[in-house]
Amino acid sequence: MIPVQGYEGRTLAILGLGRSGRTAARALAVGGASVVAWDDGPAGRAAAEAEGIPLRDLSREGAFAGIDALIVSPGIPHLYPQPHPAIAAAWEAGVPVDNDIGLFFRSIAQADWADLAVAPKVVAVTGSNGKSTTAALLHHVLTEAGRESQLAGNIGRGVLDIEPPGSGGVVVLELSSYQTDLARSLTPDVGVFTNLTPDHLDRHGGLGGYFAAKRRLFAEGGPDRCVIGVDEPEGRYLANQMVEGLGDDRLIRVSSGRKLTGGWSVFARKGFLSEYRKGRQTGSIDLRDIPGLPGAHNHQNACAAYAVARTMGLAPRVIEEGFRSYPGLPHRSQLVADRDGVRWVNDSKATNVDSALKALQAFDRIRWICGGLAKEGGLGGLLPAAGAVVKAYVIGREAEAFATELRGVEAEVCTTMARAVQRAAEEARPGEVVLLAPAAASFDQYDSFEKRGDDFAALVDAIT
């Protein structure tokens, strides 16, 4: 555990008692602070009471008397669409509001770091899509290369729950916009921006607010090195702001689909990763036959992970070995079965149109299981990949409405996952892929995209 520094003998309040909230309470206590906490749900309060964490309703008048700071869990709105009443009360009381990411960055440097031969480093990965795969892939490559690495944040363990890193250790964090938006301290050694597509717009007051939350990691964090995807205007804007010119090697630009010129760059074209520095090619990897990284979207993730690994001193050959042994993440282009010439792929994490489009573009001859709680903007963005779809099997409570938006795609309304898997199994032919890429949230039928993906995998296992 990372003991929180700077609050010894002081009292902090915690709002939200899920994984991050309870871990923050323990880390604060280890650091010598006192804690009170609240959760709007009875289950969260019960879990806190079981751990001996004192409860206080932070929405009540006078609740912030004697409180030095409020620590907020990432799922709780602090500005849009409207601030939680407890956060508004903290503002009125003049109490600083932070989150566990802010506590982590102010506490990660321990007193014994001066005695370490090589100072530890923190890599923070953000973006709309691919950040989980990029972070997990980098962690895998580092571990396979014999480097001490810990994976935390939105993936793996809570940021304060990891062990203090040793000499030369690396902490790889996946950070969402909910986390970067509020953290009062953001000081990664390497910052990674994968890409930007519309998501969480209600939480950030629009696309500009969403990008601003991501940009804080760089503009306020001031990382020593930046790895930035430049396939969207926001990435190109951010990359331009972080350097003095093309010769500034504090920046590594990343692209999937086009060659980059000038400066330090890593890009993938037609399945081949290339690294260029000072006008010369310094590394390359054939990504086409790496099973854990199918499709152009995963090639972009590979480029970002490769770039960070190069800043850590790893050779291209060592990185490629790590890529080839990477097993992939559950629910992200995960091969769950290969039977009678038909591949079954679980990409339940494709909860928006852009991520589903990238999943569709990774395969040919697709029997596509899709649907769920649709997000704003409609499904028009999926049409460029419609030619690869043999047939769609639509699930969700609003399956009929979802199916009508799939113009030019043969679609069958199945409503349930069980029916969709059954129908796809009956109709799939050798050489085809049955792909779960919902392009929608799961909450109309499942508690999470993980539960949805697990259901798909279990049904496929039963059939195959």
- 334-463 folds as Protein-Tyrosine Phosphatase; Chain A (3.90.190)
Q: Is 313 annotated as a binding residue?
A: no
Q: 278 pLDDT exceeds 80?
A: yes
414-427 pLDDT tens trace? 999 999 999 999 99
Residues whose CB is less than 8 angstroms from the CB of residue 11 and which lie 6 or more positions away in sequence, other chains included: 33, 34, 35, 36, 66, 67, 68
DSSP 53: P
Q: The tokens of 312 are what?
A: 């850590």
Q: 89-98, 107-116, 308-317, 429-438: which has the minimum mean pLDDT?
A: 107-116
pTM summary value: 0.85
33-52 pLDDT tens trace? 999 999 999 999 999 999 99
Q: What is the pLDDT, as a whole number, of residue 211?
A: 96
Q: What is the pLDDT, as a whole number, of residue 252?
A: 97
Dihedrals φ, ψ of 86, to 5°?
-70, -35
- C-alpha angle with apex 436: 433 to 437, nearest 5 degrees? 115
How far apart (Å, rounded) are the C-alpha atoms in residues 263 and 249?
7
State yes or no: cis peptide before 81, omega within 30 of 0.
yes
147-206 pLDDT tens trace? 999 999 988 789 999 999 999 999 999 999 999 999 999 999 999 999 998 888 889 999
Q: Is 293 strand, coil or helix?
A: coil
How far apart (Å, rounded) are the C-alpha atoms in residues 352 and 129?
9
The partner residues of 435 in beta bridges, in order of sequence, read: 345, 368
Q: Where are the domains of the chain?
A: 11-98, 104-324, 334-463
- 11-98 folds as Rossmann fold (3.40.50)
What is the enclosing helix (H) or strand (E) of 288?
Answer: none
Name the CATH superfamily for 104-324: Mur-like, catalytic domain (3.40.1190.10)
How far apart (Å, rounded) are the C-alpha atoms in residues 369 and 276?
39
Q: Is 380 annotated as a binding residue?
A: no
Q: Is 325 annotated as a binding residue?
A: no
Q: Is 132 annotated as a binding residue?
A: yes
120-146 mean pLDDT:
96
Q: Is 270 annotated as a binding residue?
A: no
